[in-house]
Amino acid sequence: MARISQPIETTDAQKKELLIMSRSLKLDNRYVVRSRVILYSLEGKQLEEIVKLTGLSKPNVNKWRQRFRIAGMQGLHDAPRSGKPSVITAEQKVSVVQKACEKPPSGYTNWSQKRIGKEVGISQSKVHQILKGADLKPHKIEYWCGKSPDPEFESKMLTIVGLYMNPPENALVLCVDEKTQIQALDRTQPILPLKENAPKRLTATYKRNGTVSLIAALAVHTGEITANTMKSNDTDNFLSFLKKLDRTYRNKTLHIIVDNLSAHKNVKVKEWIASKRKVKLYFTPTYSSWLNQVEIWFNILSKDVLKGGVWKSTQQLTEQMLEYIDTYNKTRAKPFSWTYTGNVLAVS
């Protein structure tokens, strides 16, 4: 007389997980088959039928059913294998962590897991396990804005943010900076345009056709851009641009924010500013040019115009940038909005 197998009980969550496993294309096939053993059993299929459907032997089918009864979903996983585990000493673990946190010798800048393993005398995979357990990622680098050494950082920062948030009446806040050495690069072969199943393609080889520098002013509360191209980034060009802004916005008091470039602090500039009652110059704190909003617009320019561009001459590059600025002012110019929603960072 055939022995009647014990029933298998599952929760709704287990049954759902079994169904997902049985249909998975990413899991190892052994887990897919084991999940189907349990599902077929839940459907009331007999042992012989499950053997035919899964290709497992009768003992194997019974094994996975019994293990599921005892341990649930965990029972479908492989049991730990016997054998002597590899031994990593505490000294080796400490050495791996220590080396990952130090600058390597012999001219290297960064450690690789392979070189750490060779130094310590263990495999690369073991190094990976140790570093993962210590939550160390020597392959990864993040950049951050260090603390400005400017003793007047707070007062300068508050003044600039105050101009952004609450500008004086009948005044215009302008952020001014230069983007220098923009290369007019041409390619040695024609561009292969974008088409189905293939991106736009440029040759890796190129020709240099000179450089152009751009000086630009962003009107903070309208988003309008005023710009000039120039051959060199010097005091005379900077002063000439300030005079252009003074003429362009004749009836406004101009509050102009710039960084600490020496050309911005030249005696000629100081004398001209002193002679203009309606033009005021503000300097960002040391190492804090990120406070200057025109840097955001330069990033937009790089993405929209400069990345992947091809120009036969500096004149062609100049004309395209000025055309883009005209289009930007007519169609896209608007103030930048503050969108950060995280915690306020304390200034210490």
Question: pTM of the full predicted structure?
Answer: 0.65
Kind plus residue range of the DSSP H or E element containing 213: strand 206-219
CA angle 290, 296, 297 (to 5 degrees): 140
pLDDT given for residue 1 in this prediction: 45
Nearest to 293 by CA among 328, 264, 259: 259
Q: How far is CA 239 from CA 152, 276, 285, in A?
A: 25, 13, 21
CA distance 124 to 337: 47
Domain boundaries, the chain: 12-76, 90-133, 153-331
Exposed, middle or buried: residue 238 (CB in 10 Å: 0-12, 13-18, 19+)?
buried
pLDDT given for residue 3 in this prediction: 56
DSSP state letters, 264-333:
GG-HHHHHHHHH-TTEEEEEPPTT-GGG-THHHHHHHHIIIIITT---SSHHHHHHHHHHHHHHHHHHT-
Cα radius of gyration (the chain): 34
Hey, which residues does 182 pair with through a beta bridge? 212
* CATH match of 153-331 with 3.30.750.24: no
224-250 pLDDT per residue, tens: 999 999 988 899 999 999 999 999 999
Amino acid code (one letter) for 19 = L
pLDDT by 10s per residue, the chain, length 348 = 455 567 888 898 899 999 988 988 877 888 899 999 999 999 989 999 999 999 999 999 999 999 999 988 888 888 776 666 667 888 888 899 999 999 998 899 889 999 999 999 999 999 999 999 889 988 888 877 778 889 999 999 999 999 999 999 889 999 999 999 999 998 888 888 888 878 888 888 889 999 999 999 999 999 999 999 998 889 999 999 999 999 999 989 999 999 999 999 999 999 999 999 999 999 999 999 899 999 999 999 999 999 988 999 999 999 999 999 999 999 999 999 887 777 765 544
pLDDT given for residue 329 in this prediction: 97
CA distance 222 to 335: 5
Half-sphere exposure of 348 (CA within 13 A, CB side): 3
246-294 pLDDT per residue, tens: 999 998 999 999 999 999 999 999 999 999 999 999 999 999 989 999 9
The residue length of the chain stands at 348
- Cβ contact 242:272 at 8 Å: yes
Hey, which residues does 76 pair with through a beta bridge? none
DSSP state letters, 65-128:
HHHHHHHGGGGGSPPPPPSPPP---HHHHHHHHHHHTS--STT-SS--HHHHHHHHTS-HHHHH
CA distance 92 to 127: 9
Hey, which residues does 292 pair with through a beta bridge? none
- Cβ contact 217:243 at 8 Å: no
CA distance 61 to 48: 10
Exposed, middle or buried: residue 65 (CB in 10 Å: 0-12, 13-18, 19+)?
buried
